[in-house]
Structure 1
Amino acid sequence: MRRIDLTSAGFLMLEKRETPMHVGGVNLFTLPEGVNERRFLEDLREMLQATKEFRRPFAEYPVTGRTGLFWEKDENMDMDYHVRHSALPAPGRYRELFALASRLHTTLLDRTRPLWELHLIEGLQNRQFAVYNKIHHAAIDGVGAMHITRSMCTTDPEARVGYAPYSLEAYERYKQLRFGQSQRPKTPPRQRELRNVLEALKHQYDSGVNLVTAMRRFGGAFFGRSGNLAVPWHNVPKTSINTQVCGARRFVAQSFAFSRVRGVGKVMGATVNDVVLAMCAGALRRYLLSRDELPLHSLKAMAPVSLRAEGDLESTNAVGFITADMATNVHDPEKRLRRIQSSMQAGKDLLSELSPAEANLFMQLTQLPALVTFLLGLSSRLPAFSTVVSNVPGPREKLYWNGATLDGIYPASIVFDGFAMNITLVSYHDHLDFGVVACRRSLPQIQRIIDHLEESLQELEEVAGLAQPAAKKRATRRAGTAATAKTTTKAAGASGTKRSAKAAPKTRATPRTKAKARSKAKPRAKTAASAAGTENP
């Protein structure tokens, strides 16, 4: 048995029926030319189910010991249970896909088995199929999930992979490909041991000083004495987002061209992550205004950051967070962006003074009150944050899985009492793939967030002077994307809200001049996907 680290154990302890603690997502693929869909997916399923040796902890399940929680190996893996094959009902739109993903994301994982499931989904239009993954957050974080996705794919459309992404072989091959052979240290053993002892003593002293300094700044910010540094609980307003949640989930997703977001950042002197936060802030502001509940104080977002050391593929959870002031009480989009920049920079400055180990300890100390309030059932009354916005770096090159083109990676994360909405995005190839998860009961019209994200990005483009003239506002069609007739459909699970769906959706690539009209674009058929239907920490 292996002891489960404190952060991972926290996800297990926090889980209940209303708050499943798994992360997941939908990967969208286009079949290779000339193959039979059913036969292709059957071959994939057989390959996935044939796995005998697994990377940790994909063959382990949690058990309670005398001194805490441990991972124990499952000697009787039932691969038919973990790898499943499903078919969508006709006509196989994204509506049906994400309605299925919503239901799958709602159910708890079985703790008597290894905490993961993989669903192959056929029946999509335009020769596409999907893979829905569900993994407990105790077993993996967002960056780790990207390593899993990367290990199953190649950059060569002709390459064929004969091992599953969760297999030990995939792990070893990916580690070799990404990091190569580690070089043996040239320092003699005795000198190395002495150096390690001296460095450890110095590190203990420095760590104590650094942590005390960080805690002082954190406490000062809570009482309003640390400038732009935003911290949990300080002036966090109560809205419909900060409510108790039920177990059912709703999911919406959309791709945005990376060039649009990067273009705004270059002109405004902001990072891509700053612009993403500003997009989300503008969308949340519009959403709350439409519900007549925009609060006086700004919303605060938890922005997870990776604390993994370079080359670390072993950690199940190495994640911290920065509290972002979303400036939702600011009308001007440029001023909103500047305030977000300031709060994010203050958070980065605080963490930059700590080593990854120190930052991990600092996160555990500062998150302890959140754990206590959750266990006492006070999270919705004393919310630490308003929502979560997580930006997970993904592959920058186009990927293929046994010849099938990976079109998009749409993450589905966690919500629980105190914040009923989670916005997670993955940067993949030339686009940003957003996945928004919300409590189905508390936020029933969450599909509007997708439209508000587009409107917010257009608003930022106008401020940056990047808005296109009216004559050029038509979206640019990517090569290989077929146009078909429009059909009006309801978003999955949404009551009375209609969206215009196309059989061959496309990315929101070119901005409009004005942001007042609701966007009708849907995700690309051969490059990325989005739709309404169904947690990066």
Structure 2
Amino acid sequence: MNRLTLLDAMFLGLESPELPAHVAGLQIYELPKGKGSAWLHGLMEELRQRPPGSPFNEKLRPRLGGLPELVVDEDFDPDFHIRHTVLPRPGTDEQLRSLLARLHANLMDRDRPLWEFHLIEGLQNRRFAFYIKIHHAICDGATFSKWMSQSTTVSASGKDMRPIWQRPRVRANRTARTGLDALQAPVNLLATARDLGLGLGQLTGKLVRRRFLQGDRRIALPLSSPSTALTAPPTASRNLAFTHFPLAELKAMGKSSGATLNDVVLAICDAALRRFLSEQGQTPAQPLVALVPVNLRPPDSEEEGNLVTSIQVKLGDPEQTPGERLAAISASMRSGKEMYADIPAVASQAYSLGAAGLAALGSGLHLEGILPPPFNLIISNVPGPRETRYFGGARMLETYPVSGIAPMSALNVTVYSYDGELFFGLVAGRRAMPHLNDLKLCIDEVYEEFREELPGAD
């Protein structure tokens, strides 16, 4: 059995019918030459025969007075978890998005292992898709990306096919006791409590010193985000949109000014969202604030599960050129990272959870429009494979992250790199953003403007 960490349990505790707490991925494949529907049906039969390994064969078991644990599901039902859907003709991308929006809005059954796999047949141009959904209590984006990469191959031969759930049936305990998780271990309790207190004190001191004594206006203060349509009360329905751009061009946009790929993504999303809100009759006078997840694992770490914190990043001012916006956001990211430098993981996680908890409290008390949101949207960047990948001989053409939204923040933009492209997955509450595809079009427009105006982008 594997006991959940405090961070894992948080994703269970904050979940509601309006705010499902799962992450997902969409992979779009091209049928191998000469293959068709019969091949896909054979593939499904083969996949249902592949046994699940940990954690895909494990379900939740509550513990009296403690955190839940994962135990092997002796009644595992492959037909429940591994599903086959055929899109009606003509099989457009819009039909696919509509299907995924419905699938993504549904809570998962907590009496079963917390994952689903959908093979979607019938896409135009000889394509099919995989949609894989896993509860955030099981893994974060970095772990999900690792599992997704391990399920594909660099060879088109069709050999060594291994679906994401086919893993060793027994594994080591979940992530090492670091950060808030260490509070569960009595031997570490005093040391962790000390790190928590000292770390939060350091963070508070840095915030006061940098913002008020040194006048660093790029620091995002708590509850400094403007209220927008994104602050609307959550509903269960979802909207999805996707786009992608050449990775090398995005990196080149920031190279001349020393900005990172993350900075460029934040700047494009900020400019596009401001344009979108303006077209909806909203023009926030203050900078928007993004919550940016940060992977706490050291390079080459093999740790799985959830090991993440987040930084609140103040975005650009209303009227800025692409270069000015990129420079401002790059400075904000540096300020945020410097705030967390040398801070114990337990303190950075507690600070991040505090922001999420405050948003959940505000939403639960229906204070949208009264209490300023802790942040306006989530923007995340997850690295993926650099080379072309295959599954069972089928070439993967595109792959999009499909993440979740937060209380008082009805938009998530997650990007995923693959085979020289950066794929943008936009997820929003349907009531708050009924015209999400308009935001996707704004992102496309802003990308072209950044290409034209930033030195080195071409």
Please give the TM-score of this superposition, normalised by the length of structure 1.
0.76
Aligned to 2:126: 127
Do the aligned partners of residues 461 and 228 (structure 1) sit closer, same or farther apart at CA in structure 2, a change above 3 Å counting?
same
Q: Against the structure 1 CA distance between its residues 255 and 349, is the aligned structure 2 distance closer, same or farther, given a 3 Å change threshold? A: same
2:435 paired with 1:436: no
Partner of 1:279: 268
- In 1, distance between residues paired with 2:114 and 2:192? 36
Q: Which letter maps to 2:258? A: G
Q: Is the contact made by 1:20 and 1:108 (CA closer than 8 Å) also made in structure 2? A: yes
For residue 241 of structure 1, give the secondary structure of its aligned residue in structure 2.
Answer: helix
Question: 1:235 aligned to 208, 221, 224, which one?
Answer: 224
- Report the alpha carbon displacement of residue 294 of structure 1 after superposing the two structures with TM: 1.0
Is 1:31 the counterpart of 2:20? The answer is no
Distance in 2 (CA, whole Å) between partners of 1:203 and 1:66 is 20
- Contact 1:411-1:434 at 8 Å conserved across structures: yes
Check conservation: 1:62, 1:70, Cα contact below 8 A: yes
Q: Deviations over 1:120-160 (max 9, x none)?
A: 01101211110011111111111111011111111111241
Match of 2:147 in 1: 148
- Deviation sequence 1:264-286 (CA, Å, 0-9, x none): 11233211111111100110111
Distance 1:170 1:287, change over 3 A: farther
- Please say if residues 250 and 457 of structure 2, whose CA atoms lie closer than 8 Å, have aligned partners that are also in contact: no
1:341 to 316, 330, 342: 330
CA offsets per residue over residues 235-274 of structure 1, 9 Å max, x none? Answer: 2111111111210001000111112211211233211111
Indicate how the Cα distance of structure 1 residues 204 and 136 shifts in structure 2: closer, same or farther if over 3 A, else same: closer
2:135 alignment partner in structure 1:
136
Deviation at 1:397, TM superposition (A): 1.3
Using the alignment, how far apart are the partners of 1:142 and 1:341 within structure 2? 23
User: Aligned residue for 2:9?
Assistant: 9
Determine the C-alpha separation between the residues in 2 that align with 1:342 and 1:97: 39
C-alpha separation in 2, matches of 1:278 and 1:17 = 32
Aligned Cα root-mean-square deviation (Å): 2.7
| CA positional deviation for 1:52 | 2.9
Q: Does 1:427 align with 2:426?
A: no
Matches within 5 A, 1:105-504: 105-169=104-168, 209-218=198-207, 227-231=216-220, 233-354=222-343, 356=345, 359-364=348-353, 367-378=356-367, 381-382=370-371, 383-465=373-455
- Which amino acid in 2 is paired with 1:345? R
Question: Deviation of residue 71 (structure 1)?
Answer: 2.3
Identity %: 33
The amino acid of 1:424's aligned partner reads T
Cα distance change on mapping 1:416 and 1:53 into 2, 3 Å: closer
CA–CA distance in structure 2, aligned partners of residues 142 and 467 of structure 1 = 28
1:67 aligned residue: 66
Preserved CA contact (<8 Å) 1:268 1:464:
no
Higher mean Cα deviation, 67-76 or 52-61? 52-61
Conservation of the 8 A alpha-carbon contact between 2:359 and 2:407: no
User: One-letter code of the match for 2:6?
Assistant: L
Deviation track 1:5-56 (CA, whole Å, cap 9, x = no partner) reads 1111111111111111111131111122222x22332233223222334122
Unaligned runs of 5+ in 1: 173-199, 469-537
Q: 1:107 to 1:202 in 2, by over 3 A?
A: closer
Relative to 1, partners in 2 of residues 1:82 and 1:381: Cα closer, same or farther, differing over 3 Å? farther
Q: In the TM superposition, what is the alpha-carbon distance from 1:456 to its structure 2 partner?
A: 1.3
Task: Give the count of matched residue pairs.
Answer: 441
CA deviation profile, 1:352-387 (whole Å, cap 9, x unmatched): 323545543553456543454344444664311011
Q: Residues 359 and 312 from structure 1, CA distance in 2 versus in 1: closer, same or farther, beyond 3 angstroms?
A: farther
Give the alignment's TM-score, normalised by structure 2: 0.88
Distance between the aligned counterparts of 1:204 and 1:16, measured in 2?
30
Residue number in structure 1 paired with 2:99: 100
Q: Where does structure 2 lack aligned partners over 5 or more consecutive residues?
A: 172-188
**More displaced 10-residue stretch of structure 1: 316-325 or 46-55:** 46-55
* Aligned partner of residue 418 in structure 1, secondary structure: coil
Structure possessing the higher radius of gyration over alpha carbons: 1
Aligned pair in 2 of structure 1 residues 147, 135: CA closer, same or farther (>3 Å)?
Answer: same
